[in-house]
Structures are given as C-alpha cells and as structure tokens.
Amino acid sequence: MLDGAGRRREVSLRGLFEQAGEIRMIACELPTQTFAILRLALAVLHRITGGPNGEASWQALWRDRRLPLTDLTDYLDEFRDRFDLLHPRHPFYQVADLRADKENTYGLERLIADVPNGMPFLTTRAGPGMESISPAEAARWLVHCQAYDPAGIKTGAVGDPRVKKGKGYSIGVGAVGNLGGVYLEGTTLRETLLLNLVPIAPNWQRSDERDLPVWEREPQNAAEEADATRGPYGLLSLYTWQSRRIRLFGDTGGIKGAMIAIGDRLDWQDRHLLEPMSVWGRSAPREREQKRTPIYLPRPYDHTRALWRGLQTLLPPPLPSAGKPPQRLSATVLQWLARLTRDGVIGQDFQARPHAVSITYGTQQAVIDEVFSDTLTMNVLLLVEDSPLRTTAVDASADAEAAVRALRGLATNLVRAAGGPDDGGDADRAAERAYAVLDQVFREWLARLGPESDPAAERAAWQDQVRQVVARIGRRMVEAAGPAAWVGRTKEDRNGREVHYSSFQAETWFRRDLAKALSMTTSTDQEVPA
C-alpha cells in the first residue's frame, strides 16, 4: 500500500479496510495486481453492505467518514480460516490436495508474472529472489494468477477428467485478462472502494441468491465445477472467479513453489450487466455466427496509444438513436458516477480519476507481452453522456490526431523531396515526437476543465496549443531536411500525375493541412517560435 506521505506499507486484508482512510492507494508489483486485489476487497465490501441495494444506501456509506468496520471485522473473523494461505484443508484461493500424476518440483516462475518463463536473464528477479518469497507476496501473486494467468498447457491435476497424458489443455487466459479494466481512483483508498461499489439494482447489476464469494462456498477440488452450479451469478462470484486450480508449497518462513492447473472457464459474452469494471464493444463475428444483435464482449485497450488518444472508447457514448443498439458501452462504474452527478449526490466540481488496466498476451496467449496502465484526471461532468464538456474533450482528442496526421504528411513529403526511402519510418518518428509533447499538454488541459468552462473557448484554446506544438516540430523538420530536399525532385503521385516535391512545397501543404485540422485556432505562423 502507499500511504498519504508516499511511503509503502504492507497490510493484511483486515488492515486494508481499517486503514483505508489513511492509505492513498493499493500499490503492488504490477498495476494488474493492484486491480485484482481491489476486486477482492470489493467482493468483501459488497458482501457486508448487502449490495448496497440502491442509491440511498450508497449515499449513506459515502457520507460516513469511515467504512462499516464493525461489520467488516465480524465478517472477516467469521471466515478467518478461509483466508489462511496455508490452511491444511481449504487454503485461500487454492486446492489443498492438488497434485500431478507424477510428482514434480515446481518453482515460482509459474506464479510470478514479471518473470519471463524460460528467459530468466530478462528479469531483475533472480537467484535468492526466485528461491523463496514471503507468504504475503505469494498471496498477492496468487490473486493475480487467478485473474491474469496466461493461457497454454498447464500441469495436469489428478482428479480432473479434462487431463490427457498428464497435461491440462488451455481454457484461455485468467478471467480478468479478457477485460478492458477500469476503476475510479479516489484521494484515499476509502474513496476508491466506495466509488467502485456499484449497487446491486435493476438496470445496473444482475445477481441472485446463489451469488457467493469463493470463500463462502464448499472448497473446490481439481475438477472444473459443473455448468449447473458454476455461475457466475453476480459480482461476488465474478470478483473471486477461480480460473486456475493452484497449490502453493512452503510454510510461514517462505513459499518456494506453486503448482498451477486449469480451473473454471468463463465466457464473457453479454455480461455487461454483471461486470462493472470493463469497457465493452459489439462483436461482429459473433453476431454473424449467432444471427442476432447486439452481442457485447469486453474490449482490452490499445497498448500502443495513451488513454487520452482513445478517450471516446472510455467515456459513456452519446445516447443512441431510437431502437439502435450502441456500438460500445462504457464501464458501469463510470455510468454510476455519472448518475450520481446528475442526481446531485456528487458535486459538479468533483474530479474523477479513471484508471485503465489491461494485458496484451503473446504467442497463443501463452505469455504476457505488455501490461497497460494509464490514468486521467477529469471533471466528473465529462462522464455525463449529454455533457458539452464531454463532447469538447472527445473532439479535442480528435483535433490532436488530425494535427499529427498533417505532421506525418509533412515527414512523408520531405522524404520524397530528398529522394529517401518512403517506408513510413520518418512519419512514425515525427508522430511519436508530437504525441510525447502533446501527452502532458492534453492531460493538463483536461484536468482544468470544470463546470464553469466554456466548451467552445476551451476547444479553441486547445487547438492553439496543438498548433504551436505541431508547427514547431514541423518547422524543425523542414530546417533539418537539407539541400537535397530544398532542391526537390519530381515524382508521380498516387493518381499518376507528375508532382514536384520540395521542402518549400511540403511546408506549404503542411500549413494548409494543419489549418484545416485546427479550424478554430487563433494562432498564426508568426506566433509559433522555431
């Protein structure tokens, strides 16, 4: 955990709730680990609040200065044994007697996600750091493994009828690995927990009496749970879903290995009214295959782009036309905060901090390639579907993209003028330079928007900033193009016409394209320093 002074501290699950008002955030080895542990904590909080069962119940929790600690303590005491990592009969998130047909020795590389399997030279964790870890660290990686474990063949567990020749064949990645995860960060962990505590209520969440967290159910065995009882039936089973069957080896002095076998499959199709912490999009392939619409699946983020560049995929979309299902859906946690804003429960000056998290898997989803994590600070009105501020922010993101396209065109034309290889490399590098500068500029501009902002004036001011940044980079590119580009050369364009390319002509086209992309700007070329 990270406290208000920026110090890291290790706390128990009970301590997490008791110190939630002092803790700034859950800070773990990976952002995905933070997300997985937050979901675990939310399962506990949902359970002891009974949902909560509506806006009034949620509002009472928000106005209280503390979490319902008495209820939380009683609940954790009641199920104390089920949270014991080394319990002989029902260890936390594990199967006590899990074993393979042939007894093997298991290391920690199967459990710890930031250790490349088979390539230990590409990690900072080696030697004694891979021989043993503390039970507390093992518990964090255990929760992460159930959520994000890669696909691929796993150790075959005795008692699992799916096992063939000692192997458990892939059932896909851990359940949370399919999500375009998003949660709301508060100024304290208490705020974060409550902002993501979406009530179990009609049109918001679906659940029934069978929905229980895994620690309130009978301990699992090596086999997959039967379809008739597997669920998920609501948030509690989703947040504690057992994608793997795991057994840790060690004692209170240290955990030295882990056996990981396949667990319960989960199909995410059309679970948008059950899962509140993901963005969703329509699946054209499944709609064609099943001959019905709409069908929604979670949408992981594009890891090649900062979150602000795909802002329209994060925020609630505009209200769709009558009878036409939307192409995408925002996370229910964001829709819930928008509703609280419209109802006046949350003030219009509240600053929201959506935090996006997802994973890109590599070959056949059997390895983790990248972990994506990004946060934006914005006024809560940007989450309201018909808010002019929301439209302004989304349009501003598009303005930046259009300006960078003009810069890419300049780079391409300068290469043609100089007679260099037109392979797109120069255009890519120019775009990277522009986005690197615009990234911080956009974040600061976005955070300044508020209920008193004039949307048109703010967008014009943003376009001025974009023009200054992009024009400055463009001018330096022209100056660096050299004599060959200044003289230029004649080439055929896409339509077969002869066109003379020179640095002067390329800059002329660039100024035209930039003016078209940023039509609200009041800047002039003379105002842009070289």
Give pLDDT, residue 311. 92
Fold for the domain defined by 388-527? Topoisomerase I; Chain A, domain 4 (1.10.132)
| pLDDT tens sequence across 496-527 | 788 899 999 999 999 999 999 999 986 555 44
Residue with tokens 């501009």: 445
Q: What does the DSSP 8-state code read for residue 100?
A: B
What is the pLDDT at residue 297?
A: 97
The reported pLDDT for the residue numbered 6 is: 80
pLDDT at 530: 38
Question: Dihedral, CA atoms, 468, 471, 472, 477, nearest 10 degrees?
Answer: 170
> What is the reported pLDDT for 514?
97
Residue 338, pLDDT score: 94
Q: Which of 401, 414, 430, 411 is nearest to 518 (CA)?
A: 401
In our burial notation (b when 16+ CB lie closer than 10 A, e otherwise), range 87-104 reads eeebbbbbbeebbbeeee
Indicate the residue type of 84.
Answer: D
Secondary structure tally for the chain: helices H, strands E:
17, 16
Instruction: Tell me the CA distances in angstroms from 487 to 52, 169, 477, 482, one per residue in order.
Output: 71, 63, 16, 9
Tens-place pLDDT, residues 289-338: 999 999 999 999 999 999 999 998 899 887 766 778 999 999 999 999 99
pTM comes to 0.92
The domain segmentation of the chain, as residue ranges, is: 2-383, 388-527
Q: What is the model's pLDDT at position 121?
A: 41
Q: What is the pLDDT of residue 204?
A: 60
Burial class (CB in 10 A: 0-12, 13-18, 19+), 65: exposed
Show the low-confidence residues of the chain (pLDDT under 50).
118-122, 124, 526-530
DSSP line for 230-267 = H---SHHHHHT---EEEEEEEETTEEEEEEEEE-----
**Tens of pLDDT along 52-64?**
988 899 999 999 8
